[in-house]
Amino acid sequence: MNNLDVRHREDGLLLRYLDGELPGRKARQVRTHLEACWQCRAEVEALESAIGECVRYRKDVLAPSLPPPPEPWRSLDFDRALAEMAAEPADQSLFVRMARFLGPLRHGGLRWALSGAVALALCFVVVQQLRETPKVEAAALLQKAVRAAQSRPAAHQRLRITTRTGQMTRVIGVAYKPAAREVEIARLFDAAHYDWNDPLSAQSYAAWRRQLPHFQDAIASQSNSYDIKTTTEDSELVSATLKLRTTDLEPLEGRFEFRNRDWVEMTELVDQQTSPASTVAGTAGGMPPQPGVPPGPFNTPAETAAAPAFSEELQVVSALHRLGADLGDPLEISREGGQVLVSGTGIPPQRQQQIHGLLDRLPHVVVRFDDPAFPAGAMPVQSEPATREAAGPEKSTYAARIEERLGGRPQFERLSSSVLDWTDSAMTRAYALRRLAQQFSATAENEMNAEDRRTLHRLGREHLAAFTKDAQRVANTVNPILIGMGVTGMGSGVAQLEAHPEPIAWQAASEDLLATARRAETLLAVVLGVAPVENAPGDAPAQLTIALAQLSRRAEQCQRLLADR
């Protein structure tokens, strides 16, 4: 170490060099030394950075907060300024006292008399203050958010949880059997010592943050929210972000990134109902509901509290009907406590998002999907339509006769394809109608109010109208061909139907409709040569005409029973 290195630490030679206070010869010596000494160059860069931070802090933070001087600044000598700074109250920080000392001297020549040690100490204090400010502000903000949460009434919190593989809805405070993917997410949070029982809360976030040995905070202030982001290398949860609403510090959103590169996003869902104003920390009366604020406990009037909760289930069914998700999607609708649970397995992610978009906005509805059976963006594989070669070893002669009557194989293939498509569409509607009847039995319908009953009948009529349209297409196409082949039996089928008593409820009629439709589907497959004939009746074409006639009458019965009365 040379003499110049020693003098650097003794009298702040580098600081005076940066300030331009060294004479020319000495400045050239320092400059030459800096070209050869990386350690001193690094110290110069650190000094420049510290001074820049000090200047920015004074300009952007300190200066705007200082009151205007009561009178013009007087000239002060250095000794008197130091004495006044030493006489400041003892409870004031060193930083505040030095700031007061530097204020009057900012334009005078006296500032050059500051020693290098004092300047370096000031720079160190400023840098440390800037470095610790986000941690202090984050801790204070979380503490206020915890107090605000404790002052709010307890209520179940509904969260939309999004991961790489899909979405789910979770209700905090309600016991239920979690899906497989939810169990995996819970393990991630448990490994990070983060409370999965209440993940979107200031309490859980603050508790996780406090147990970290080392971490870094960042705070972003938006127009109506604060974003607190904490990053660390000492946890399985390496980054967590919590968005707090500015008005009441209610958590709105959260994002959690784990060491294994999994991530979880949470958004609070709000019941679309008018609820009593909730008390907020620092207010006496409360405030009206806002987006992102969960409603407080509902004070349900006595006359409506005992009413069956069919309206909520009908809302779900109506929403799924608009999306077409009641036509074959493997969904189940059930009751789980006070919630309507919509669950499913093997739903593609894109379809999951569509269902979430419709149902998450409904009150008391929880959507929960197991891991999808299809990769993201993939669609379910559709089964290939049956062909004549799919029949068993005993080939149907009916198809050959129809092909001959139509004038060739191409004409037969077009007819067969159209008829099978119409049949598939009609069967989908028949199953949907039967499923609706099972969801809302005749007994349940009798307990509904008039509006819910009208909604239920409207859904049934829409399914039935679509079924009737497709079934009529099949009958209008197939019957003329069978009659041309000399097949009869339509009248006897109607007579057989009239001999049985008509159902008194559309729910029972829908069961009869589905049974008849399944029989017609089987006979149609035999006649068109796409199913084996070994288990079919001896006169399948005649039986098919009977089944189609019965199908039309069954649809008429359902239609009469579903008419609003």
> Are residues 260 and 281 in contact, defined by beta-carbon separation less than 8 angstroms?
no
Task: Specify the range with the lowest mean pLDDT, choosing from 85-89, 257-261, 550-554.
Answer: 85-89
Taking only the tens place, the pLDDT of each residue in 265-324 is 998 876 543 333 333 333 333 333 333 333 333 333 433 433 446 788 888 888 888 888
Collapsing DSSP to helix, strand or coil, 335 comes out as strand
Confidence of residue 371 (pLDDT cuts 50, 70, 90): low
Whether 255 shows a pLDDT value over 90: the answer reads: yes
pLDDT of residue 37: 85
pLDDT of residue 302: 38
Taking only the tens place, the pLDDT of each residue in 484-543 is 887 775 555 555 555 567 788 999 999 999 999 998 998 888 888 877 666 566 688 888
- In the chain, the percentage of residues whose pLDDT exceeds 90 is 19
Residue 399 CB neighbours (<10 A): 18
Question: Residue 517: which of 558, 480, 550, 482 has the closest Cα?
Answer: 550
Joined together, the tokens standing for residue 393 give 């070893």
pLDDT of residue 189: 94
CA–CA dist 19, 119 (Å, integer)? 11
Q: What is the domain class of 133-270 according to CATH?
A: mainly beta
> Are residues 295 and 275 in contact, defined by beta-carbon separation less than 8 angstroms?
yes
pLDDT of residue 100: 58
CA–CA dist 412, 292 (Å, integer)? 60
Residues in the chain: 565
Q: What is the domain class of 310-377 according to CATH?
A: alpha beta
CA–CA dist 124, 130 (Å, integer)? 10
CA–CA dist 27, 24 (Å, integer)? 5
- In the chain, the percentage of residues whose pLDDT exceeds 70 is 70
Radius of gyration of the chain (CA): 39
Half-sphere exposure of 88 toward its Cβ, with a 13 Å CA cutoff?
Answer: 15
pLDDT of residue 134: 63
pLDDT of residue 293: 37
Domain boundaries, the chain: 3-66+76-131, 133-270, 310-377, 388-562
Confidence of residue 422 (pLDDT cuts 50, 70, 90): very high
Confidence of residue 376 (pLDDT cuts 50, 70, 90): very low
Angle at 217 between CA 215 and CA 221, to 5 degrees: 170
Confidence of residue 116 (pLDDT cuts 50, 70, 90): low
Nearest-10 crossing angle of helices 540-562, 490-498 = 40
Joined together, the tokens standing for residue 18 give 């940066």
Whether 86 shows a pLDDT value over 80: the answer reads: no
Residue with tokens 């982001």: 229
Whether 563 shows a pLDDT value over 50: the answer reads: yes
Taking only the tens place, the pLDDT of each residue in 143-178 is 888 888 888 777 777 888 888 877 788 878 777 677
More confident residue, 66 or 322: 322
The reported pTM is: 0.51
Task: Specify the range with the lowest mean pLDDT, choosing from 88-97, 240-249, 438-447.
Answer: 88-97
